[in-house]
């Protein structure tokens, strides 16, 4: 079994690097969009709250594979020149942002209203209170759940490689190794090991962040 890994180490390493870059880029998109949507979800304006709710319900309930078809061939047919990389990052990021928004909303709810009122009494605008007081605490509160979402994103990234976007990630490289060697069990075993390497590493990273920065309530 080990010979499948050693003979195709460059392929597996390449797939691991592609998956890492895909997840990192998508995480940035998810974090930015998720933060904005979470701000809408806790807004004092009923209209903005409804916009945030509609966003979450749409992207949390539409399958990722459908979003990938929209983000790549759909956009290309619309006359927009988009690369597989960009479409994969956007689709995975937008899909995950709905979950990030809900986690952050729960973190915002954990911040006491007294701190919000104190900020307003000091002359801060509601947006400034959210940005300077509430969101920093919310992020520290939900480090653990954000880690779980990131790990789920790593596993969901396999859909990107298996879809029409077809990025050369871990899963696609394993399929190529399988087609070249006809050693299916071994090829996908090492693909699973690569995914496990990423998820376990991130688990320890987020545990470290949580132990250092998380707010204990």
**What is the number of alpha carbons within 13 Å of residue 18 lying toward its C-beta?**
24
Q: Tell me what pLDDT residue 217 has.
A: 57
CATH assignment at residue 184? 1.10.3720.10
Please give the DSSP secondary-structure letter assigned to residue 160. Answer: H
Q: Tell me what pLDDT residue 201 has.
A: 94
Q: Tell me what pLDDT residue 183 has.
A: 83
DSSP string covering 161-187: HHSTT----HHHHHHHHHHHH--HHHH
Strand ranges, E, within the chain: none
In the chain, which stretches have pLDDT less than 50? none
Number of domains present in the structure of the chain: 1
- Segment 147-171, tens digit of pLDDT: 999 999 999 998 887 777 778 889 8
Domain region containing 46: 2-213
Question: Considering the entire predicted model, what is its pTM?
Answer: 0.88
Around Cβ 197, how many Cβ atoms within 10 Å? Answer: 12
Q: Tell me what pLDDT residue 216 has.
A: 62
Q: Tell me what pLDDT residue 147 has.
A: 92
- Segment 83-93, tens digit of pLDDT: 888 889 999 99
């Amino acid at each position: 079994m080990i010979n499948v890994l050693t003979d195709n180490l460059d392929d597996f390493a390449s797939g691991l690097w592609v998956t890492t870059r895909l997840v990192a880029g998508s995480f940035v998109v998810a974090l930015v969009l998720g933060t904005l949507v979470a701000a809408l979800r806790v807004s004092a304006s009923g209209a903005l709250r409804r916009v945030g709710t509609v966003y979450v319900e749409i992207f949390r309930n539409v399958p990722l594979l459908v979003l990938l078809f929209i983000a790549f061939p759909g956009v290309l047919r619309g006359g927009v020149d988009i690369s597989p990389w960009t479409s994969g990052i956007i689709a995975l990021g937008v899909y995950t942002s709905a979950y990030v928004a809900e986690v952050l909303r729960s973190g915002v709810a954990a911040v006491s209203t007294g701190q919000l009122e104190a900020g307003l009494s000091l002359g801060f605008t509601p947006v400034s209170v959210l940005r300077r007081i509430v969101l920093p605490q919310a992020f520290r509160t939900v480090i653990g759940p954000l880690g779980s979402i990131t790990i789920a994103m790593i596993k969901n990234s396999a859909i990107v490689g298996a879809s029409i976007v077809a990025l050369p990630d871990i899963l696609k490289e394993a399929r190529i190794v399988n087609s070249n060697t006809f050693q299916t069990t071994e090829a996908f075993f090492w693909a699973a090991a690569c995914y496990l390497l990423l998820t376990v590493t991130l688990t320890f990273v987020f545990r470290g962040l949580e132990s250092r920065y998380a707010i204990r309530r």
